[in-house]
């Protein structure tokens, strides 16, 4: 079943105490409220267990921002998918453009991460998206297709059905420049068509495809009103309840 999801990506922000406070405030703000989407907060690794203790895992769900591409062992500084699952995390963002650009994550590495996340019952929020030069050259469809094919298309239909996609045009991330609702709808529909060609229309229809990139209270409603936009992956605006809640309530 396709779900509407609004997920916050805290990135490398907030110390532990600030993170716990934000999670508590968000949980309190949503208690007793009916919202029309699942709400997820994806936090730095060190926050996960403590944040999990102050949310209910239903009204507010927990996710991580990355995981290792190895099972376990001598990989100093890495955090495995199994470790994430043991904190109570239900989701993990994989393939964020910042990981691809600054930490050399390739489609091949991401394929391993997706596999390990799924083996540990984590739901990958798999990010795809083009950089500005690619958009200007009209190559955005080609770019997202390759990202999806090379990291995800070896999955069984059953496993693919567990994936959440997030289309995040790199030129829109943290820039205040949002894709127009029409641009978002156009590429989301294209992405769904690729999924349909590979896994069938039913699987494609059931896949949540989120938009990310300078989404905020002012543009969320219009973005989410598109038939192929199933929610948002929110950076800056996820760092305060007063900016995140209106996005959740835009559905």
Supply the residues annotated as catalytic. 96, 168
**195/232 with CB nearer ligand 13P:** 232
DSSP secondary structure letter of residue 180: P
Torsion of CA 80, 118, 223, 178, to 10 degrees: 40
**Alpha-carbon gap, residue 6 to 221, rounded angstroms:** 12
**Candidates 79-87, 186-194, 200-208, 229-237 — which segment interacts with ligand 13P by CB under 6 A?**
229-237
**Alpha-carbon gap, residue 165 to 16, rounded angstroms:** 28
22 near 14, Cβ under 8 Å?
Answer: yes
Q: Does 212 bind ligand 13P (CB under 6 A)?
A: yes
Interface residue with ligand 13P, options 38, 69, 105, 168 (CB under 6 A)? 168
Q: Does 44 bind ligand 13P (CB under 6 A)?
A: no
165 near 153, Cβ under 8 Å?
Answer: no
Q: Does 184 bind ligand 13P (CB under 6 A)?
A: no
Interface residue with ligand 13P, options 174, 200, 202, 205 (CB under 6 A)? 174
CB atoms within 10 A of CB 160: 21
Q: Does 27 bind ligand 13P (CB under 6 A)?
A: no
Interface residue with ligand 13P, options 173, 195, 204, 248 (CB under 6 A)? 173
Strand partners for 62: 41
Torsion angles phi and psi, residue 210, rounded to 5: -90, 155
Q: Does 214 bind ligand 13P (CB under 6 A)?
A: yes
Token pair 């039913």: residue: 202
Binding mask 68-87 for ligand 13P (x = CB under 6 A): --------------------
**Candidates 70-78, 157-165, 207-215, 221-229 — which segment interacts with ligand 13P by CB under 6 A?**
207-215
Q: Does 130 bind ligand 13P (CB under 6 A)?
A: no
Q: Does 9 bind ligand 13P (CB under 6 A)?
A: yes
Residues 6 or more apart whose Cβ sits within 8 Å of residue 235: 8, 9, 11, 173, 174, 212
68 near 85, Cβ under 8 Å?
Answer: no
Residues that bind ligand 13P (CB under 6 A): 9, 96, 168, 173-174, 212-215, 233-237
């Amino acid at each position: 079943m396709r779900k509407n999801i609004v997920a916050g990506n805290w990135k490398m922000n907030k110390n532990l105490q600030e993170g716990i406070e934000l999670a508590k405030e968000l949980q309190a703000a949503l208690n007793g409220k009916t919202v029309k989407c699942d709400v997820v907060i994806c936090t730095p690794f060190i926050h996960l267990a403590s944040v999990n203790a102050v949310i209910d895992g239903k009204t507010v769900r927990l996710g991580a921002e990355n995981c290792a591409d190895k099972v376990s062992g001598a990989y100093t500084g890495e955090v495995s998918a199994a470790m994430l699952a043991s904190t109570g995390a239900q989701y993990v963002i994989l393939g964020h453009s910042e990981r691809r650009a600054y930490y050399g994550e390739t489609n091949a590495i991401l394929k391993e991460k997706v596999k390990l996340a799924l083996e540990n019952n984590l739901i990958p929020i798999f990010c795809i998206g083009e950089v500005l030069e690619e958009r200007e050259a009209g190559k955005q469809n080609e770019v997202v297709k390759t990202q999806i094919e090379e990291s995800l298309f070896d999955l069984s239909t059953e496993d693919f059905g567990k994936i959440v996609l997030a289309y995040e045009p790199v030129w829109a991330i943290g820039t205040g420049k949002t894709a127009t609702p029409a641009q978002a709808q156009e590429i989301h529909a294209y992405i769904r068509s690729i999924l349909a060609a590979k896994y069938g229309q039913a699987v494609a229809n059931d896949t949540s495809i989120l938009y990310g990139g300078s989404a905020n209270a002012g543009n969320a409603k219009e973005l989410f009103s598109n038939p192929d936009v199933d929610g948002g992956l929110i950076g800056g605006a996820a760092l305060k309840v007063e900016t995140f809640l209106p996005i959740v309530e835009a559905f």
